[in-house]
Amino acid sequence: MSQGRDGFTTTFGALMATLGSAVGLGNIWKFPSLTGTNGGAGFLLVYLAATILVGLPVMISEIMLGRTARADAITTFDKLAPRNQWWWKAIGWMGFAAALLIMAFYSEVAGWVYAYIFKSLTGEIATTDPKAAEVVFGQLVSNPWSSLIWQWVVLGLTGFIIAFGVSKGIEAVTRRLMPLLFILLLILCVRSLTLSGAGDGLAFLFNPDFAKITPAVMLTALGLAFFKLSLGMGTMLTYGSYFREDQNIAKTATRVMLADLSVSLLAGIAIFPAVFAFGFEPAAGPSLVFMTIPAVFTSMPGGTVFMALFFLLTAIASVGAILSLLEVVVAILSERFGLPRKAAAISTIAMIAVFGVPAALSQGVMADYKIFGLNPFDLFDFLSSNILLPVGGILICLFVGWVYGLAAPEKRLAEAGTSVQRVVIRSVFFLVRFVAPVAIAIVLLNGLGAF
Ligand code: PFF
């Protein structure tokens, strides 16, 4: 490790922080809501393919780049790209922009989760009636002050943690909390599956209707694969720069992918059977989780306490993801531009707070301010997940496959150790060189209606 640079101190800590970045509101909130609005099982199938064939190789590539360069997402390309190819730094700058855009709406959703911890305890959201659930959610998100204040609470808390640095801040928080969320999701699944009418939800989730897989659905699934594993914007690259030399990258990435998929599937199994059993609308969008989860808890003994605990753990899961989003920007500001870490953290939070205002007001007073037919919240989401991350993904694949990887493939194969690991590395290079960039480009252009 280069001198004086902070980093993950243990192998387990690095795994948990990486997992903490991947697992978050994407699993509990975005995955179910997109699966619901995009027709269910067909969407899930495309998402799975995108995760395995594109997501995993891109994640391995990003972590590898970061660990080799030991630098922030922009400086990495200064160090690793040939001297005359300065344009690779665009990957880092796009990551910087994507982090701010994602944080603008992500911090808002995290704010709703914080609010729901308290609403669970007061009993306000304890209902299985879709209409009543919609009213409570609508009141929270359409009120400008409650939206903004909860968002600022989220930003204040996570900004405070990030200021402490990598080993003390990020690692300490994330490693302790993940397992608990997993257990609660399991309990929820059992309750949801035993509701009468649960079968329709399972069919929705697992029985694909291929007619529903349109180019736009495919682009959304690809965007989700990137968003879920925090890829295409230098997040995994930045975390890779904190990995120790002896951390096995391919193994860590595969574990993170599998664990992340499991959490999403559990969330899906907890939610969709209940959606059908209680008569909610699967295509409700961002409000889906906030209406369905309370309904499942309300229908079980001890529900209030479990419900509050669930939202608390979801809030905590979101912290791991937010810290990694902030770290992309903080690392650039502090390492590349020389700001002290605390000043970098404060500047990052301030920039997000500015972008956050329109996102927070999108469900209320700014609902009719539309660009390309999208309110600011949806626009930030679309621009980041469906454009910036896939484009960043293509560039990372091209860089690793055709510029950096070609420079010393034998050395990297030798570094990979056992024969199994060599096969893995060879397959990753094949996917990164030929399959992933072409697949992303086709899905992206097709999804945007270019063909
Ligand atoms: N992967 C996170 C989630 O699914 O909640 C969100 C996220 C974190 C996206 C970090 C992008 C990122 F860089």
pLDDT tens-digit map of 235-289: 999 999 999 988 888 899 999 999 999 999 999 999 999 999 999 999 999 999 9
pLDDT tens-digit map of 223-236: 999 999 999 999 99
pLDDT tens-digit map of 154-196: 999 988 888 877 766 666 666 667 777 888 889 989 999 999 9
Q: Work out the pLDDT band at 16, boundaries 50, 70, 90.
A: confident
CA 417 / ligand 1 centre spacing (Å): 31
Instruction: Provide residues with CB under 6 Å of ligand 1.
Output: 21-22, 24-27, 102, 227-228, 230, 233, 235, 321, 324-325
Total domains, the chain: 1
Q: What is the mean pLDDT of residues 107-127?
A: 95
CA 396 / ligand 1 centre spacing (Å): 17
Q: Whose CA is nearest to atom 12 of ligand 1?
A: 230
- Predicted pLDDT of residue 316: 84
Q: Which atom from ligand 1 is nearest to the alpha carbon of 99?
A: 13
CA 275 / ligand 1 centre spacing (Å): 25
Please tell me the distance from the alpha carbon of residue 447 to that of residue 451, in angstroms, as a whole number.
9
Q: Work out the pLDDT band at 408, boundaries 50, 70, 90.
A: low
In the DSSP assignment, the letter for residue 402 is: I
- Predicted pLDDT of residue 426: 82
- Residues of 74-90 as b/e, b for ≥16 C-beta within 10 angstroms? bbbbbebbeeeeeebbe
Please tell me the distance from the alpha carbon of residue 100 to that of residue 338, in angstroms, as a whole number.
20
Which residue of 33, 94, 102 sits with most ligand 1 atoms within 8 Å of its CB, as the best mutation to test the pocket? Answer: 102
CA 104 / ligand 1 centre spacing (Å): 13
In a domain, 4, yes or no: no
Which residue of 58, 227, 263, 388 sits with most ligand 1 atoms within 8 Å of its CB, as the best mutation to test the pocket? Answer: 227
CA 52 / ligand 1 centre spacing (Å): 17
- Predicted pLDDT of residue 411: 58
In a domain, 310, yes or no: yes
Q: What is the mean pLDDT of residues 365-372?
A: 92
Q: Which atom from ligand 1 is nearest to the alpha carbon of 95?
A: 13
CA 339 / ligand 1 centre spacing (Å): 25
Q: Work out the pLDDT band at 2, boundaries 50, 70, 90.
A: very low
In a domain, 6, yes or no: no
In a domain, 202, yes or no: yes
**Alpha carbon separation from 157 to 262, 341, 435 (Å, rounded):** 28, 16, 41
CA 40 / ligand 1 centre spacing (Å): 22
- Predicted pLDDT of residue 429: 87
- Predicted pLDDT of residue 4: 64
Q: Whose CA is nearest to atom 13 of ligand 1?
A: 230
Range name among 95-104, 157-166, 425-434 with the lowest pLDDT average: 157-166
Q: Which residue has the higher pLDDT, 445 or 7?
A: 445
pLDDT tens-digit map of 333-347: 999 999 999 999 999
Range of the domain at 75: 11-447
| Greatest extent of the chain over all pairs of C-alpha atoms, in Å | 65
- Predicted pLDDT of residue 423: 81
Q: Whose CA is nearest to atom 10 of ligand 1?
A: 230
In a domain, 2, yes or no: no
Q: Where are the alpha helices (DSSP H) in 335-400?
A: 341-360, 376-381, 389-398
- Predicted pLDDT of residue 182: 84
Q: Work out the pLDDT band at 14, boundaries 50, 70, 90.
A: confident
In a domain, 48, yes or no: yes
Range name among 253-257, 286-290, 302-306, 391-395 with the lowest pLDDT average: 302-306
In a domain, 401, yes or no: yes
- Predicted pLDDT of residue 317: 87
CA 403 / ligand 1 centre spacing (Å): 27
Q: Whose CA is nearest to atom 11 of ligand 1?
A: 230
Q: Which atom from ligand 1 is nearest to the alpha carbon of 27?
A: 4
The candidate with the shortest Cα–Cα distance to 107, out of 356, 366, 381, is 356
Q: Which atom from ligand 1 is nearest to the alpha carbon of 328?
A: 13
- Predicted pLDDT of residue 414: 54
Model confidence, pTM = 0.94
CATH code of the domain containing 328: 1.20.1740
CA 123 / ligand 1 centre spacing (Å): 30
**Alpha carbon separation from 139 to 91, 136, 291, 369, 429 (Å, rounded):** 40, 5, 13, 19, 50
* DSSP three-state, residue 374: strand
- Predicted pLDDT of residue 170: 65
